[in-house]
Amino acid sequence: MSFTRNLICKLQIQKFSQNIFTSSIRLGTLPHCLHFQQTPLSCIPPQRQFSLSRICCEEEGTEENKDEKPVDPAKDRRNPVPVEISIRYLASEAYQKCYGDEPVWKYYRRNHKGMFAPKKTRKTCIRSGIIATGNPCPICRDEYLIIHPYNIKLLEQFISPVNGEILSYMKTGVCQKQHLKLLVAITQAKNKGLITFDLPFREYNYKDYFPTSV
Amino acid sequence: MFLNKLLPRHLIHAKSLSTKTITKSTSALFFKPEVQELLLKLTRIDLSKVFRKQKYGQELKPPEYKFLTTEEVEKLKEEAYNRAIKKMQMPPIVPARDDSKLEVLSNDKELLGHDVCKYVFTDITFGISDAKRIIVVREPDGLLREANTNERHRMNNIYFSRPGATYKHPDMFEEENLKALCDRKEYVFILDRAATQYEPDDQLYHNILNTTFTHIHENNGFDHLRSTRHFGCLVFFLANNNIIDNLLLQNLHCNMIEDAVWLIKVYQIVNPESKCATVEHIQGKDTEFVQSYIDLDSSKKDILSHFFPSQFLCQYNGIFLSCG
């Protein structure tokens, strides 16, 4: 008796698996069919089910991508602009027309509810290569602004002309991801000597170097 | 400790410039009080340049306003000048440390293979300067020796890090980056950073100074260094290498006959074997003193002597000769 039951069960599974290939049935619907037959689940190799279902899911996933709406080219950041173009852009007339002599963050205003802005800016403006916010930060909103140690004109806008410190994101409104990139790029540029800065005074004790001198 | 790592080659073997190496005797000349005094005079302290706003990223304080009598103002001015002189302290010029002749303290063959790495012992007693701190290295083969320059730099940086100095050697001192900086005339920045980064007896520091000073000399960028702490070192470098003519020419151009005299005095002290070393300066006869140098020692005689008579006349006729 149990043998015939098993046989029926296996046939059922075969039939079912064929169904899976042809139709796109979700993983969640699988156990229902089996439960109905009251077959011992122990004799069904679970791996087979999962592998099949995975194939189904993958197929579904690819189909979804095809169905996706076309991305607004203004929000598409999947192919970033090379640095050379960014450097040329910062020296160009178009940039001058857009920003004038002010730094790029000057006229950016953060969106927030209530009177006070949250302490930190948002984690990132760009998710999986597409702008995911209505008010992207001053660097994310312009696709021609690329942070790089050689892009000195851009980096210098984020260094205070008053005391030479790196400006806070509270002031510039840059998102956390871009701010970290900025810190790294400025450090690299300083290390390479592309950005000059003042160094603290080092006092020498001449006695250390020449004992007889006063 | 990763002391087995060697310095990048290009940093050590920077192109050998045809400049004189600093020996103990030249270093002694630099520390002579009269030389120090002359170098300080040549620096021509400009208070507005010395006390310009420094940007270290510090919090700024609002300025203080006071009502003072004329006497008090004079007193404060003097104090400010004294502070400026302290700021003009020149980085010492000392011979480079020779890493090939390290002192061996003991050679204990019993310790051979005690470990696979070197052991570094540093004296971190309070109040000892970086230059004099005792640092020794025990090699895996049992040799106990003095630490070399790189090891000293790393140990000093770990225990007593200096503000502005980094553990790793900055990329800006690589040959191409340094050349780009020189072309941008950022001499003061290069020299300041080199002074904070390295000890004065470091071979790398000497290489950087040689490259920068040679560039300044070739491009007549003396004005960039005037009224900074490095101008004295520049003058000493020029005098030591017998290439003071460009600076002298500039001094004469700008009607700074006094500076020309001081410059030649430094040259005489540094080069006691030169022909003009015996010529004594008599007060009020500056032009003759300079003339004697041009006749006896200058390598650019024709340019200098061609220029000099007109300068001579101008000064005595009281006509202001415009620079350049």
Minimal C-alpha gap between B197 and chain A (Å): 10
* Cβ–Cβ pairs < 8 A, chains A and B: 86
The answer to whether A111 and A164 have CB atoms below 8 angstroms apart is: no
DSSP secondary structure letter of residue A141: S
Q: Which residues contact A27 (CB under 8 A, 6 or more apart)?
A: A53, A56, A57
State how far the alpha carbon of B44 is from the alpha carbons of A148, B34, B86, B93, B257, in Å.
40, 16, 14, 20, 13
Question: Which of B30, B130, B172 is best to mutate for the A interface (most A CBs within 10 A)?
Answer: B172
Q: What is the pLDDT of residue A211?
A: 65
Task: Average pLDDT across each block of 10 residues of chain A; the chain has 214 residues. List them in order.
Answer: 52 51 44 46 52 49 62 92 96 95 95 94 95 95 96 96 95 96 97 95 91 55
Rg (CA), chain A: 31
Residue B135 lies in a domain: yes
Q: At which residue do the structure tokens 């630490």 appear? A: B147
Is there a domain that residue B6 lies in?
no
User: Is position B240 within any domain?
Assistant: no
Could you count the other beta carbons within 10 Å of the beta carbon of residue B40? Answer: 18
pLDDT at position B4 is 41
Task: Specify the residue for token string 């190799």.
Answer: A45
- Residue A84 or B14, more confident: A84
What ipTM does this complex have? 0.86
Residue range B158-196, pLDDT digits in tens: 999 999 999 999 999 999 999 999 999 999 999 999 999
Whether A193 sits inside 8 A of B54 (CB atoms) is no
Question: Can you give the pLDDT at residue B92?
Answer: 95
Nearest to B94 among A160, A164, A209 (CB): A209
Domain that holds residue B140: 104-147
Residues of B in Cβ contact (< 8 Å) with A200 = 56, 163-164, 196
> What tens digit of pLDDT does each residue of A104-145 get?
999 999 999 999 999 999 999 999 999 999 999 999 999 999
Would B127 be classed as within a structural domain?
Answer: yes
Residue B138 lies in a domain: yes
SS3 B60: coil
* Residue A33: predicted pLDDT: 41
Give the nearest partner residue to B92 out of A200, A204, A214, using CB atoms: A204
Flag whether B304 is in a domain: no
How far is the C-alpha of B145 from the C-alpha of B56, rounded, in Å? 39
User: What is the distance in angstroms between the Cα of A118 and the nearest Cα belonging to chain B?
Assistant: 24
pLDDT band, residue B282 (cuts 50/70/90): confident
B317 to chain A, any CB pair closer than 8 A? The answer is no
Residue A35's pLDDT is what?
A: 46
- Residue B299 has a pLDDT of 81
Write down the pLDDT at residue A138.
Answer: 96
User: Which of B189, B190, B197, B211 should be substituted to probe chain A, the one whose Cβ sees the most A Cβ atoms within 10 Å?
Assistant: B189
Which percentage of chain B shows pLDDT scores above 90? 68
Q: Assess if residue B171 is contained within a domain.
A: no
Query: pTM for the whole thing?
Result: 0.80
- Cβ–Cβ under 8 Å, residues B19 and B136: no
pLDDT value of residue B318: 41
Question: Is the minimum CB–CB distance between A162 and chain B shorter than 8 Å?
Answer: yes
Q: How many domains does chain B have?
A: 1
Instruction: Give residue B277's pLDDT.
Output: 85
Side-chain-side CA neighbours of residue B59 (13 Å): 1
* Helix residue ranges per DSSP H, chain A: 2-22, 30-37, 46-67, 83-90, 93-99, 152-155, 169-172, 176-192, 206-209
Residues in chain A within 8 Å Cβ distance of B205: none
